[in-house]
A and B are shown apart, each in its own frame.
Chain A
Amino acid sequence: MRTLAYLLREAWANLRTNRTTTMVAILTTAFTLACIGIFLLLYVNLRAAAGWLQEDIKIMVYLDDQLAGDALANVERQLRADRAVAAMHFISKEQALGEFKAQFPSESHLLEGLGQNPLPASFVVTLSPPFRSPDAVKRWSERVQRLSGVAKVDYNQDWIDALAMVIRSIELVAIGIGLVLSAAAVTIIANTIRLTLFARRDEIAILRLIGATTSFIRIPYLLEGAVLGMLGSTLSLLMLKFLYELFRQQMRTTGRLSGLDALVAFFPWSLCLALVAVGMALGCAGSFVSLRRFHEAKP
C-alpha cells in the first residue's frame, strides 16, 4: 500500500515534471481517439439503422387453402410459442384479396375471372433480433415449412443477404479503422513515455543500484501511460459530444433533414466508460512497448 502510494506519487510527479510533453501526448491521443470515436459513432448509428431495417423483414407463412378452426388455431399456437417469433399477425383470405385489389386495382379483374378467391390465408411474422441472420431465417423457415397446415414460407432472401452483408462490411471497416487508430494511439503514448524514460535513465540506473525491482521501476510509467490514455480518451469524448451536438443543431436548422436528428444517438454511458477504459488500456500498452524497448543505462 505504502509502495503503491509512492509509485502513484512518482507517476503524478512524472506527468507534472514533463508538462509540455504530457499536454502534447494528451491532445494527440485525444484527437486519435476522437477519430476512432467518430467511426464508432457512425458504426453505432449505422448498426442501429440496419437493425431498424431488419425489423422490416417480414416472413410470410402461407396456410393450406381450407385450413380453419382447430387446425388454424394449432398453427397459430405453435408460432406464438416459438421464441424466435417477436411479432405476428393473421391475414385472412378475404384480407389478402382486399390488399391485392388495393395494391393492383388494374389487375383485380384477373382474380374475378377465377370465380373463387385463390389467395391463401397467412401469418406475417417478424423474427426477434438473434434470429434475423440469413442462416437463422433459413433454418426457421425450413422448420415452420414442415408444420402441418403450412403450405409455404416465403421471405425476401436477397434483401436479408444484402442487409447482412452491409452490416458485416460496416463491422469490418469499423474494426479495421479502430485497429489502425488504436495502434496510432499506442505509438503516440509509447513515444511520450520513451522521452520520459530517456530523460530519467540515470535515475532508473540509481534505482536499480539500490535494489529496486523491475516492477517497482516500471509501475510509475505504466500508471503514467494509463493516466495519459484516460485523460486523452475523456477529452476525445468531450470533443465528440461537442461535434455531435453541433451536428444535431445543423440538422435541426436544415429544413429537409429535420427530424432525422432525433434518430442519431450518442454513446450510452456504459460505452463512454468502456471507451475511457480502452484509453487507459492503450496508454498502458504504449508504456509497456516503451519499457520493453528501453535499454537502461547500466548501474
Chain B
Amino acid sequence: MIQLIRVSKHYDRRPALSNVTLEIDKGEFVLLMGASGAGKSTLLRLLIGAERPDDGQVFVYGKNVTTLKQSEIPYLRRKVGTVFQDFRLLKKKSVFDNVALPLLVQGAAPADIRRKVTEALRAVGVEHKRDQLPVGLSTGEQQRVCIARAIVNGPVVLLADEPTGNLDPQLTEEIIELFKLINARGTTVVVATHDPLVMAQVNRRVMTLAQGALMPEPGALA
C-alpha cells in the first residue's frame, strides 16, 4: 500500500529524511514515532505529494508519487485521508459542510453527500453537531470532525499527523479508539506521534524516526 525506497529530503541542506526505506501493507495500523523534527511530518507530506523527495521513490496505492504530474496529485489525495493536529477546518462553514467538502470537490450527488456525511459524522460521534460552526466545538469534537472529513469518501489510507497533540489523555484515548475502528474496516492507518501514551494504547507496529533516519524495528534483523 505504501512503499518508500531510499528516500531522502533536505531543507536548506539540513536533512529531514535520510535514506528511508519502508513498506506498509494494506490494512496495517502503523505508528510513526519520533521527537519533534525527526522527519515524521515530512514523511507524511511526501505520501500526499505535498513535497517531492530529493532522492528515492515513494509509492502509494500503486502510484509512484515521485513522478506524478501536479495535475494528478488531487486524484491521489482523494484516496488518502489526512488528519492534522490543528484540525484545519473551514471556520465559516458548518460541520456538515466541512465534512462534505471532499465529496463536493469530486462532484458527488447531493443525496450521496447527505448520506455519506451523515454516516461519517455518526461514525465519529458528532452527528448532533452537524449544523454548528467549528468554533463552537470542543477540541475533541473538532478533531472528530476532521477525522470525519478524512474518511467521508472512503480513503484507502488514513494519515494522521500528531492527531492527539492538542488533546488531553481521555480525548487521546477516544481518538485512538476511533482510528482503530477505521482500521478495523480495512483502511490502512498511519499515525505520526511523539506521544508515548499513544504507543502504549495502540500496541501495533511502530516505526521510529530519529534525525531523519528510520531506526530498526524491534525484532527486525540487523
Within 8 A of A (CB), among B98-151: 101-102, 104-110, 149
Chain A residues positioned under 8 Å from B76 (CB to CB): 211
- The answer to whether B77 and A210 touch across the interface, beta carbons within 8 angstroms, is yes
Contacts A210-B77, A298-B50; A202 near B107 (Cβ below 8 A): no
Chain A residues positioned under 8 Å from B74 (CB to CB): 208, 211-214
Query: Which has the most chain B C-beta neighbours within 10 Å: A6, A210, A213?
Result: A210
Total residues of chain B contacting the partner, CB 8 A: 26
- The answer to whether B48 and A209 touch across the interface, beta carbons within 8 angstroms, is yes
Q: B78 on the interface (CB 8 Å rule)?
A: yes
Contacts A2-B110, A202-B88; A210 near B105 (Cβ below 8 A): yes
Task: Kindly state the separation between the CA atoms of A203 and B70 in the bound complex, as whole angstroms.
Answer: 19
Q: A216 on the interface (CB 8 Å rule)?
A: yes
Q: B11 on the interface (CB 8 Å rule)?
A: no
Closest CB of chain A to B3's CB: distance in Å? 21
Q: B188 on the interface (CB 8 Å rule)?
A: no
Query: Which has the most chain B C-beta neighbours within 10 Å: A202, A211, A298, A299?
Result: A211
Q: A206 on the interface (CB 8 Å rule)?
A: yes
Chain A residues positioned under 8 Å from B110 (CB to CB): 2
Question: Which residue in chain B gives the minimum CB-CB distance to A3?
Answer: B107
Within 8 A of A (CB), among B68-95: 70-71, 74-78, 82, 88-90, 92
Chain A residues positioned under 8 Å from B48 (CB to CB): 209, 299
- The answer to whether A212 and B105 touch across the interface, beta carbons within 8 angstroms, is yes
Interface residue from A2, A203, A214 paired with B107 (Cβ < 8 Å):
A2
Question: Which residue in chain A gives the minimum CB-CB distance to B76?
Answer: A211
Closest CB of chain B to A15's CB: distance in Å? 14
Question: Which residue in chain B gives the minimum CB-CB distance to A7?
Answer: B104
- The answer to whether A210 and B102 touch across the interface, beta carbons within 8 angstroms, is yes
Interface residue from B50, B108, B149 paired with A210 (Cβ < 8 Å):
B149
Chain A residues positioned under 8 Å from B71 (CB to CB): 213-214
Q: A272 on the interface (CB 8 Å rule)?
A: no
Question: Which residue in chain B gives the minimum CB-CB distance to A206?
Answer: B88
Closest CB of chain B to A217's CB: distance in Å? 9
Chain B residues positioned under 8 Å from A6 (CB to CB): 104
Chain A residues positioned under 8 Å from B149 (CB to CB): 210
Task: Kindly state the separation between the CA atoms of A21 and B118 in the bound complex, as whole angstroms.
Answer: 37
- The answer to whether A209 and B77 touch across the interface, beta carbons within 8 angstroms, is yes
Chain B residues positioned under 8 Å from A206 (CB to CB): 88-90, 101
Question: Which residue in chain B gives the minimum CB-CB distance to A298?
Answer: B50
Question: Which residue in chain A gives the minimum CB-CB distance to B50?
Answer: A299
Q: A291 on the interface (CB 8 Å rule)?
A: no
Chain A residues positioned under 8 Å from B106 (CB to CB): 211
Question: Which residue in chain B gives the minimum CB-CB distance to A210?
Answer: B102
Closest CB of chain A to B100's CB: distance in Å? 10
Task: Kindly state the separation between the CA atoms of A2 and B110 in the bound complex, as whole angstroms.
Answer: 8
What sequence of 0s and 1s flags, for each residue 8-23 of chain B, a beta carbon within 8 Å of any chain A beta carbon?
Answer: 0000000000000000
Chain B residues positioned under 8 Å from A202 (CB to CB): 88
Q: A164 on the interface (CB 8 Å rule)?
A: no
Query: Which has the most chain B C-beta neighbours within 10 Å: A203, A214, A216, A299?
Result: A299
Q: Chain B interface (Cβ within 8 Å of chain A)? A: 45, 48, 50-51, 70-71, 74-78, 82, 88-90, 92, 101-102, 104-110, 149
Query: Could you give 11 example pairs across A and B, Cβ below 8 Å?
Result: A206-B88, A207-B105, A208-B74, A209-B77, A211-B75, A211-B76, A211-B105, A211-B106, A212-B74, A298-B50, A299-B48
Ordered nearest first, which 6 A-B pairs have the shortest CB separation?
A211-B78, A211-B77, A212-B105, A210-B102, A211-B74, A3-B107
- Besides A211-B74, A213-B105, A299-B48, 11 more A-B contacts (Cβ < 8 Å) are A2-B109, A2-B110, A3-B107, A202-B88, A206-B89, A209-B48, A209-B82, A211-B76, A211-B78, A211-B106, A214-B71
